[in-house]
Structure 1
Amino acid sequence: MSEEPLVNPEVAAMVGDWRGYVEAKLGFRNHWYPVRFSKELDEGAIEVIQLLGERLLLKRIDGKVYAMRDRCLHRGVPLSRKPDCYTKDTITCWYHGYTYRFQTGELVNILAVPDSRLCGRRKIVTYPCEEAKGLIFVFLGDEDKVHELKKDVPPGFLDEDLMVLGKHRVVESNWRMGAENGFDTLHIFIHKDSTLRHFREFNFPLGHTPLPGAVTRVEDEDGPKGVEDDFSKHHPVWDGEIDGQVVIRGPKLDKVKGTSASVGTSIWLPGVLKVNSFPMPGITQFEWYVPLDEKRHLYVQTLGQVCTTEQERVDFANKFETHWKPHGLDGFNGDDIWAREVTEPFYADDYGWVDEMLCEPDTTILEWRRLASDHGRGIQTKQDLR
């Protein structure tokens, strides 16, 4: 029996050179994804997560995090329904006693059938984990094709002195609605009333269109693959007119200061945005759109600042809690969240990809779709969930 496609084949055939992106409704396999903050998983604790449609168990053993598929090989029940851990590095299925080692996924025993010939010969799927900058990353894919983490995070994220703080939450939309919302130059319009203006001066046009040379690909063999958008090469629109009458103006404080995030934005596989000089110069926002299933993504929001002294770390942490989290990650990005959730129904049946009517600034989105189709290391399918 052939596998049922995730995406309408008729739609996939119509979108041309970004077909792979449209087919990646559940995301791209063989990439690293952040799933939790390190501080959220204590020694010996188990966390149940979902990633690209798969249910996984995370456990920290002797300081290291391991990820195992949450499904017993015997009858397919979720181990998490009643996680019995009689030793620190094993989990026993509550139903029939099948016992697996977290580090390898190996079936080490069946408590009611200790002499079974299956023991030592079968394994549950496990996935590599790494921790960096206070985040737990899982590489969901084929173990013999594990790539370095540096190839799946934006440039600068792993810099030694960069301190990273953040939060995560579930958004009720496909991950691609998140990625395109973040990299969409025209969506700046919805942020025109942001409360962040109480804490920094913004030049915020109503919209801005990339000029030739603004949007470029980064495709170095040994680094991450992404698309960069240089805001200094944009044409901004400051006044909104209807029938020749100005009905709204974007805050314009000083031409020399340029627009918001004066350097620009970039987006990187497998789906992570980098915003320079935001929410203020000296801080960089990194945000991931992690596929949970076909209709939800985990929005991992982080801010990074170079801190070389303990006092700088304390000051950044304090400002994060009092300013940047409530007015940036919650307030400013709150606009983004509801925009994604409202957009989701239009694309849910797949026909939105051909019925949409994009305009000139959307060249950024189209370049991202093409790059993702060209360099995604594998499309998650329903077959991968079995």
Structure 2
Amino acid sequence: MNEEPLVNPEVLSMIGDWKGYVEAKLGFRNHWYPIRFSKELAEGQLEVVELMGEKLLIKRIDGQVYVMRDRCLHRGVPLSRKPDCYTKDTITCWYHGYTYRFQTGELTNILAVPDSRLIKRRKIVTYPATEAQGLIFIFLGDEDQVHDLKKDVPPGFLDEDRLVLGKHRVVNSNWRLGAENGFDGLHIFIHKDTTLRHYRTFNFPIGHTPLPGAVQVIEEEDGPKGVMDDFALHKPVWDGVIDGEVVVSGPRSTQIKGTSAAAGTSIWMPGVLKVDNFPIGGLTQYEWYVPLDEGRHLYVQTIGKPCKDEQERLSFANDFEAIWKPHGLDGFNADDIWAREVTEPFYQDDYGWVDEMLCEPDETILEWRRLASRQGRGIQQKSDLR
């Protein structure tokens, strides 16, 4: 029986050099994705997570995080329905006693059929996991494609002196709408009333268009792949005018150089945004748009700061909880969340990718779509979930 395609074939026939991006409704395989903060998974703790349409079990055993598909090989039931962990590194299916080892996925026993010839000859699907900067990353893909994490995070994120703090939440839109919302320079208009203006003085135009040289594509073989947009090379719009009358204006300070509140943005495979000098100078915001399924993504929001000693780490942690989390990650980014969710219906049947009417500043988004189509290491399909 033929499986229904994930993306409308008629739409794909109308897309040019970013067809692969439209195909990646469930995300790109063979990449690292953050799925939880390390502090959320204690020793011996078992959690169910979703990633790219797959339901997974994660467990910390002797300090190491292991990942296993949440589906018994026998009759396909979810192991998480009643997780029986009789030993610290195994899980036994509640239905018929099939028992798997977390480290390898090996079928190590069938408690109800101890002499079965299947024992030690079959494995459940497992995926590599690693931890960095307080986040748990999962590599969802093929064993022969596993690569260094540094290729899937923005430059500077892994610096040893950088303290990274954040939160995550589920957003009811496809991951691509999250990524494009973050990298969309024109969407600055939605933030014109941000409460962040109470915590810093900044230039905040209602719109800006990249000038020649502002957008750079980074595709070095041994490093992360991304698109960079330098806001210093933008033409800002400070006043919105209708019929000759100024109806809205962005805050502008003659004491500050630059055209925008941030120095610039960049977006990196497999879908992570870097915002330089934001929410204030010296801080960097990193955002992941992790595919959960066709219509939802995990929004992993973090802010990082280089800290030379424990006092600086404590000071940043206090400011994060008191200011940057409530007014940045919660307040400022709340506008982004509802914007993505109300955009979702337009793209849900895939025709939005051909019916949209982009304008000049959206060239940055097109560069991202092209790069993702070239650099994606595989497209998650429904067949991969079986």
TM-score bracket, normalised by the shorter chain, equals: over 0.9
After superposition, where does 1:3-14 map in structure 2 within 5 Å? 3-14=3-14
After superposition, where does 1:81-96 map in structure 2 within 5 Å? 81-96=81-96
Count of aligned pairs between the two proteins:
386
Where do 5+ consecutive residues of structure 2 fail to align? none
CA distance in 2, matches of 1:319, 1:255: 24
Contact 2:42 2:60 in 1 (8 A): yes
In structure 2, the residue corresponding to 1:303 is in which secondary structure?
Answer: strand
- Alignment partner, residue 202 of structure 1: 202
Contact 1:155 1:224 in 2 (8 A): yes
Matching residue's letter, 2:274: K
Where do 5+ consecutive residues of structure 1 fail to align? none
- How far did residue 4 of structure 1 move? 1.9
Contact 1:202 1:259 in 2 (8 A): no
Contact 1:133 1:163 in 2 (8 A): yes
In structure 1, the residue corresponding to 2:336 is in which secondary structure?
Answer: helix
CA distance in 1, matches of 2:146, 2:154: 18
Contact 2:262 2:279 in 1 (8 A): no
- Alignment partner, residue 240 of structure 1: 240
Contact 2:155 2:224 in 1 (8 A): yes
Matching residue's letter, 1:340: R
- How far did residue 145 of structure 1 move? 1.1
Matching of residue 359 in structure 1 with residue 356 in structure 2? no
In structure 2, the residue corresponding to 1:315 is in which secondary structure?
Answer: helix
In structure 2, the residue corresponding to 1:115 is in which secondary structure?
Answer: coil
After superposition, where does 1:310-349 map in structure 2 within 5 Å? 310-349=310-349
Contact 1:232 1:262 in 2 (8 A): no
Matching residue's letter, 1:252: R
Matching of residue 375 in structure 1 with residue 375 in structure 2? yes
Contact 2:202 2:251 in 1 (8 A): yes
Q: 1:207 to 1:255 in 2, by over 3 A?
A: farther
- How far did residue 320 of structure 1 move? 0.2
Q: Per-residue CA shift, 1:256-287, capped at 9, x if unaligned?
A: 52133442000000000000000000000000
- Alignment partner, residue 160 of structure 1: 160
Matching residue's letter, 1:113: V
TM-score normalised by L of structure 1? 0.99
Q: 1:262 to 1:287 in 2, by over 3 A?
A: closer
CA distance in 2, matches of 1:181, 1:13: 25
Matching residue's letter, 1:343: T
CA distance in 1, matches of 2:254, 2:275: 21
- Alignment partner, residue 105 of structure 1: 105
- Alignment partner, residue 123 of structure 1: 123
- How far did residue 15 of structure 1 move? 1.2
- How far did residue 189 of structure 1 move? 0.2
Matching of residue 272 in structure 1 with residue 248 in structure 2? no
In structure 2, the residue corresponding to 1:17 is in which secondary structure?
Answer: coil
In structure 1, the residue corresponding to 2:217 is in which secondary structure?
Answer: strand
CA distance in 1, matches of 2:186, 2:260: 13
- How far did residue 255 of structure 1 move? 6.8
In structure 2, the residue corresponding to 1:16 is in which secondary structure?
Answer: coil
CA distance in 1, matches of 2:230, 2:251: 20
TM-score normalised by L of structure 2? 0.99
Contact 1:46 1:60 in 2 (8 A): yes
- How far did residue 143 of structure 1 move? 1.3
Matching residue's letter, 2:201: E
Contact 2:45 2:59 in 1 (8 A): yes
Q: Per-residue CA shift, 1:105-141, capped at 9, x if unaligned?
A: 0000000101100000000000000000000000000
In structure 1, the residue corresponding to 2:32 is in which secondary structure?
Answer: strand
Of 270-279 and 249-258, more deviation after overlay is shown by 249-258
Q: Per-residue CA shift, 1:302-322, capped at 9, x if unaligned?
A: 000000110000000000000
Contact 2:203 2:256 in 1 (8 A): no
In structure 1, the residue corresponding to 2:33 is in which secondary structure?
Answer: strand
- Indicate the RMSD between aligned Cα atoms, in angstroms: 0.8
In structure 2, the residue corresponding to 1:212 is in which secondary structure?
Answer: coil
Matching of residue 48 in structure 1 with residue 48 in structure 2? yes
Matching residue's letter, 2:357: M
CA distance in 2, matches of 1:261, 1:20: 33
Contact 2:202 2:256 in 1 (8 A): no
CA distance in 2, matches of 1:48, 1:139: 16
Contact 1:261 1:276 in 2 (8 A): no
CA distance in 1, matches of 2:325, 2:51: 25
- What's the % identity of the aligned pairs? 80
CA distance in 2, matches of 1:204, 1:257: 12
